[in-house]
Amino acid sequence: MLGPVTTGRPTTPRTHRRVRSRRTRIVLVSGAVAVVLAVAVLVVAVVVPLLRPAGPRPLFQLPVACGETWQLGTYPGHDDYDVDMFPTEGRAWGRPVLVSYAGEVTVAGINGSLGGRTPEDPDGSRGRGGGYWVKIDHGGKWETQYLHLLEPPLVRVGQRVAQGEQIGRVGSTGNSGAPHLHYEQRRGWEKVEAHFDGVPSGITHDDTEYTVKRKSNNCVPE
């Protein structure tokens, strides 16, 4: 009886090799598919919104109490379109800071460092950056920012806020010389001239000192 013909080379290693190479191919193909999917998701989630044009300007209101008159201003070295707000009557410390227009809170925390300026110690150490601050997304690529608040914001990230809702109180945290509200309006992450109640503020470039008085129409219908 003849035994099985052998070539002297066992067949098992080749089978192993074939299985291993098939596995490698499956891993490579699924890896490539995952990369393509990841790029597609990135394009849809990040690039498409970036390219989309901004929506119409929301009817922003002054971020302070209805009927109050505040001085809006800027100074050389501030930054283009940045607005500093001081009340024309009464002291600034602790005055309510209100939402300019309905939206969703995207930042509520500390920017830079707080420093030590408080109503009890107005000449305390100066902090860095915006101090306690809030950022609100109004949709259509429009955003507002509120800086140097006295205390931790009264709102939290993800919270829906209505126009006129209080988000904090005027303070002097961060890089601030005196209690005031630093305020910005942004369209597509670029600062633009702040408009209030549909009227431009006139605060554009920071090459000269400029102030204007405006009365708040941030009045919530009863």
**Contact indicator for 130, 182 with CB cutoff of 8 Å:** yes
Which range binds Zn ion by CB under 5 A, 26-34, 45-53, 82-90, 186-194?
A: 82-90
13-32 footprint of Zn ion as x/- string (CB under 5 A)? --------------------
Query: Where do the H-state alpha helices sit in the chain?
Result: 12-42, 48-51
In the complex, minimum distance from the CB of residue 213 to Zn ion, in angstroms, rounded to a whole number: 17
Looking at beta carbons, which residue is closest to Zn ion? 182
44: helix, strand or coil: helix
Nearer to Zn ion, 147 or 167 (CB): 147
Handedness of CA 107, 138, 211, 153 (dihedral sign): negative
- Number of Cβ within a 10 Å radius of residue 30: 10
**Contact indicator for 130, 60 with CB cutoff of 8 Å:** no
In the complex, minimum distance from the CB of residue 81 to Zn ion, in angstroms, rounded to a whole number: 11
Nearer to Zn ion, 112 or 140 (CB): 112
- Number of Cβ within a 10 Å radius of residue 131: 25
Tell me the chain's radius of gyration from C-alpha atoms: 29
What number of chain residues touch Zn ion (CB under 5 A)? 2
Which range binds Zn ion by CB under 5 A, 47-55, 79-87, 118-126, 187-195?
A: 79-87
Which range binds Zn ion by CB under 5 A, 84-92, 98-106, 150-158, 163-171?
A: 84-92
In the complex, minimum distance from the CB of residue 116 to Zn ion, in angstroms, rounded to a whole number: 19
Q: Which of 138, 182, 186, 214 binds Zn ion (CB under 5 A)?
A: 182
Beta bridge partners of 104: 137, 160
Long-range interactions of 186-189: CB distance < 8 A, separation 24+: 186/142, 186/143, 186/144, 186/145, 187/54, 187/57, 187/141, 187/142, 187/143, 188/54, 188/141, 189/141, 189/143
In the complex, minimum distance from the CB of residue 84 to Zn ion, in angstroms, rounded to a whole number: 4
In the complex, minimum distance from the CB of residue 78 to Zn ion, in angstroms, rounded to a whole number: 6
**Contact indicator for 214, 196 with CB cutoff of 8 Å:** yes
Nearer to Zn ion, 145 or 163 (CB): 145
Q: Is 184 a residue that touches Zn ion (CB under 5 A)? A: no
Q: Which of 60, 64, 73, 84 binds Zn ion (CB under 5 A)?
A: 84
Which range binds Zn ion by CB under 5 A, 23-31, 42-50, 132-140, 180-188?
A: 180-188
Write out the residues near Zn ion by the rule CB under 5 A: 84, 182
